[in-house]
Amino acid sequence: MADRSRCPKCREPVSPFAAGCAICGTDLDTNRWDSGPGPLTRLGSWLSAFSYGPSKSGMSPWLVLFIVFFGLSMISSLIMYLVYGF
């Protein structure tokens, strides 16, 4: 992870609100050198949304997983049966 308190080019200390480095003039737009969360972090966040959501007033996490993984195949099988008669 990039150190936001130092210039990425000359490594001199910079203010977190600075637009550019006072020493070398490098643009310090943090959106350009921030890569964001990694794929495993995003996957863990997505999976934790199923287990830590509202359980009493909402759907069960297992029901949501069943619908996501098996519901589409069941619907496509039903459509194939209705359209083609297999």
* Residue 50, in any domain of the structure: yes
Please write the tens of the pLDDT for every residue from 19-78: 888 899 888 876 556 677 888 888 877 777 766 655 555 666 777 777 788 888 888 888
* Residue 17, in any domain of the structure: no
What is the span of the domain harbouring residue 76? 39-84
* Residue 51, in any domain of the structure: yes
Domain count of the chain?
1
* Residue 27, in any domain of the structure: no
Predicted TM-score of the model (pTM): 0.33
* Residue 7, in any domain of the structure: no
Q: How many CB atoms lie within 10 A of CB 71?
A: 13
Query: Residue 28 burial (CB < 10 Å; 0-12/13-18/19+)?
Result: buried
Q: Can you give the pLDDT at residue 17? A: 81
Q: Can you give the pLDDT at residue 1? A: 47
Please write the tens of the pLDDT for every residue from 12-21: 998 878 888 8
Residue 79 predicted with pLDDT over 60: yes
